[in-house]
Every structure is written in C-alpha cells, then in structure tokens.
Chain A
C-alpha cells in the first residue's frame, strides 16, 4: 500500500513535468528556429515564396511582376490578404518540362475559443510556366490574389 500511494502521488508530478517540458521546448523552438524556408529563388518554389512575401507585405507591384501577363490582366483588384495570422507551407512541388505545380497548405490561426485553434487550413496549388528562363505564376489560389492593375469595367 505504501508503494502504491507513492506511485499515485508521483504520476501527477510526472505529467506536470512533461507539460512544462513541452511548453519550454515549443518556446525555444519558436524563438530560435522561426526562420522561413529558403528555396532557390529561381526555382518554382522560390518564385512562389517571393510572390507570397511581396503579397503579404502589401507590395502589390512586386507581386504582380511575378505573374504572367495574362494572369495579371484577369486578376481582380482590391483583394486584401490579412497577413497577421496566415501561414503557407510547401507540401509538394512537381516540375514537368516548362510547367510546374506547387502545392501549398494555407492555415489561418484564430484563437477565439480554446476549441477552434489553428485548425482552419486547406491545400491549394500554384501552377507556373517557364518563360524566357524564369518562372511566372499562371494560376494561383483566389485567397492569395493581390493585384494592382485595374480591370476594365465592362458596361
């Protein structure tokens, strides 16, 4: 009975220790390793990353420069991306000749209640074409559109 009570009294402390350890590890990792990935800026993933960095920073001119002329013409103006809580992670990247498909996962962090945290995410794809030795984005997820050119208003 004495051994039993000793075991019983230690389990909550063990669990407390594990919890503290997890939280501290998370803190350390977030503060130390929180850099962004660095793919080759001329590869399809690199182009997507440059586009996203420019779009999230609000630099729509630079972002539009990475789209193909056709895409930037068709793109509706005025979409504002909320940079505060968005996170885009590379899932896969397939290159086939002159076209590339980059699949990303987009998540939005919201903390309004403890039960719906960080779970709203979905995957979507960018397709790129190689024009004159550099990649341009042909299609992209509508939620990441950030365009500058005015579209003609059709009467």
Chain B
C-alpha cells in the first residue's frame, strides 16, 4: 500500500472526526442519577441516610417549577460557617436539586413530573455542575451536558392548564449563575438563605441548628440573633424592603454582584449592596440595548412602570428578560412585590 494512500485515508479519518466531534458524556461523570445512590426511592426522591433535605427562605424563581434540595457532606467533614457568602464546603460535598411540576398543583396525589436533577459536586479542583434529565418513564435521570428544551403542561393552583417550553440549561449555563470571579460556587447554602425551620422526619427544627447537630456545620454562632436571615418573599410579616431585597438577592444578586458575571453593568442587586445608585436608583443602563424598554433608569423611585428593572422582569423575550437563564415566563407575584417596593420609594 502506498504511503500516500495511507495519508489520504488518515486525512479523511481526521476530517471526519474533526467535523463530527461528538462529545461523548465523559466517563469521569456517572451517566445516571441512580448510580450515585442518593435515594432509597429515586422516583419519589426519598433520600438515604446522610443526604439531608433543605430549602431556602426566598428561592430562585424558575418558571414555577418546584424544587427539592439535598446536601451530602462526606463523613467526618464539616462545612465552615460564615455570615455573608455561600459556605465553604469540604471536597466531596454534593448538592442535589430536583426540578419538578405537580401534574395538578391542587391534587398532589396525582403525582409529579420530574424534569431534571442538577448536581453540584465539589471536586479537588473546584465545583462542577452536572445536569441530569429525567426519562419519560420517570425511572431515572441521565447526564446531558448539552441541555434541552422540553414542552410541558400542568394544572396550576387556580385549576388553569399551564404550558411552556421548559429549558434545561447546558453545562455552561449552570456556570452562568454559579460563577464568582473565576470560580464556581454554590448559591443557596448561605446563612441568610438557610436560616429557617424545616420539617424533618424527626420534627421541625432550624436548618442551621440541625446541620450543626448532624455534625456537618462548624463554627455556628451560639447567638442566633447574629445570624442573618433573608425574608420569605411572600411573608407579609416582614418589611416590604426586606422582602423585595431578598427576592432580588436570590434572583438577581448571583450575577449582579461585584464578583458576578453581570458586573459589566455596574448594577449590583445582592443584599449586601447599600449604595442606592449601585442597586439601580436613577442609574442609567450601560449595555442594555433594547432591554431598556425606552426607559431611562433601572429604578425610578415611585414609578415602577418607568423602571427598567420592572420591564426586564415582565418581558419574556430572550433578548430582554432577566434573569437571562432559568425563566421563560414572568414571576407575576415577584413582579408585583418589586413594583410595590419601587412605588413606595421616595
């Protein structure tokens, strides 16, 4: 066989493999959710020992999806408490979050439609985000780095049939929210989000206390009044300001913070921001484009309908809506809250 021919064949082979480089799911990640053994009953999301369920004060809105959250910390290791940012967690920690819709929000017995389970795994070289998509049979979820768009229907609390294209983010989109500076970080597990009661199978208890008792949280202050607490956005016993800032904190602050990817805008919506200009009051947009909606400032006190913030929460167009990732429809109730907050401003 002539050498030339060999090169031709090789060349064509390379050409095919280059043009058709289909990334196989890397073997270093498990292909299915069941392989991790987090659950004794996977379909009903009943966790095994050592996999602790939790929830947050005000959570991120994701197209009205319900979420179940769990954390698994390696034996003998503990998370380090701090009061301002998401906790530093031991290598080997896994955070599990399943997105689902009740088929009928009025009748839980009808069951759930499980969409996806996102894992955050703390590896030696940092956090990795892995999206697992549930199969149609609802028996297991499988790794998909490319994400997907799935049409779904369910019945809401008012008995109305709801329809949307549910978006499962690709691996990079996970990072779109979870990056801090150059590093991936979890968002929810921070003192202010976790500081609330949870109904465990052995009774109701504050989550932070429970974590401490389980030995997975170190350095929790004895004085509980020293621990920050975000409001539940719909809890009318909190102040309007704290409810609104809590909603913005979890929905916007992960990107719109000095270390977040939306720092290009100079608009900072995390709860730590105290400069009114930086959280939007009479601040003109920088690179909003048509996202400005012909409005001049992010927040015009007293005038929600002249505030860009409100416009971008209302709109569903992918070039306008905020957050960019994770919603295709507006959170009507959250929007109402932010409108009230702006309306009350002097």
Partners in one complex: no
Q: Which residues of chain B have a CB within 8 Å of any CB of chain A?
A: none
